[in-house]
Amino acid sequence: MSKQLIVLITGANRGLGLALTRAYLERGDRVVATCRHLAKATELHQLKQTYRDDLLVLRADVGLGRSVAAAAEDAALHLPRLDVLINNAGVAPGKPEQPLETLELALVRDALQTNSLGPLRTVRAFLPLLRKSQQPRVVNVSSGAGSLSNPAIETPNYAYCGSKALLNMFTRIMAREFRAQSVCIVAMTPGWVRTDMGGTDAELDAPTVAGEMLDSIDHLTMEQTSLFLDRYGKISEYAW
């Protein structure tokens, strides 16, 4: 890719979002890195010292419509367009195997707000900028845990698995709606990654996964819109 891309990544202050931010900046692209607490974005502020012109750090709590809308208004003042939107922000509240009888439904609501509705809010708010790109792409960071075709459900969790399954369905519906406008929208599972969410036993490191995802996103075409892909850009083994 020779053209400098303009990329927005939600939940960019740590974990996979931070690794994706680094990978795009190191490649020479421009990044809008959003996070819900600017005061907790130490690494992003450090990166800003190096990438003064190419990194814009904005506050956006994807669980709140007004916060995402404010970020989009701010971004529109600085950016001519948006080429790639990565809906990365995510939460995994509660414990796996939580019995229904003691399940706190508030945790499920929290997961739906962030993991399922967050991407809808973000795509909606940034559509005007995406439409200015010649090749707009939206990547919803999903998980095999949200797959209905995975018979194992290794770590059943009403909040996390349910919210990612809904994100997969929202990906399909958005992809269908925006196909005619040539906006490519996919769900992508990163694999099991060593982050606060993935834990220390996870098999993959975030910088490697970020590089693999970046490469796959570079090669996305409209033929792939609506698909659930792995980090290599292949149809996920879990399909949906």
Distance CA 31, CA 85 (A): 10
Distance CA 79, CA 93 (A): 34
The answer to whether 4 and 29 have CB atoms below 8 angstroms apart is: yes
Assign residue 125 a region: left if phi > 0, alpha if psi is -120 to 50, beta otherwise? alpha
Please give the radius of gyration of the chain, using alpha carbons only, rounded to the nearest integer. 17
Q: What is the DSSP string of 66-81?
A: HHHHHHHHHHHHH-S-
Q: By C-beta, is 3 or 13 nearer to ligand NAP?
A: 13
Minimum distance from CB of 3 to ligand NAP (Å)?
A: 26
* Residue ranges binding ligand NAP (CB under 6 A): 10-11, 13-17, 35-37, 40, 61-63, 88-91, 114, 141, 143, 189-190, 192-193, 195-198, 202
Minimum distance from CB of 35 to ligand NAP (Å)?
A: 6
Minimum distance from CB of 60 to ligand NAP (Å)?
A: 6
Q: Which residues of 160-174 are buried (b: 16+ CB within 10 A; e: fewer)?
A: bbbbbbbbbebbbeb
Q: By C-beta, is 21 or 225 nearer to ligand NAP?
A: 21
Determine which one of 24, 51, 158, 160 is catalytic.
Answer: 160
Minimum distance from CB of 220 to ligand NAP (Å)?
A: 18
Q: Side-chain half-sphere of 71: how many Cα atoms within 13 Å?
A: 30
Judge whether 158 counts as a catalytic residue: no
Minimum distance from CB of 209 to ligand NAP (Å)?
A: 9
Neighbours of 64 (CB within 10 A): 15
**Any idea which residues carry the catalytic annotation?**
160
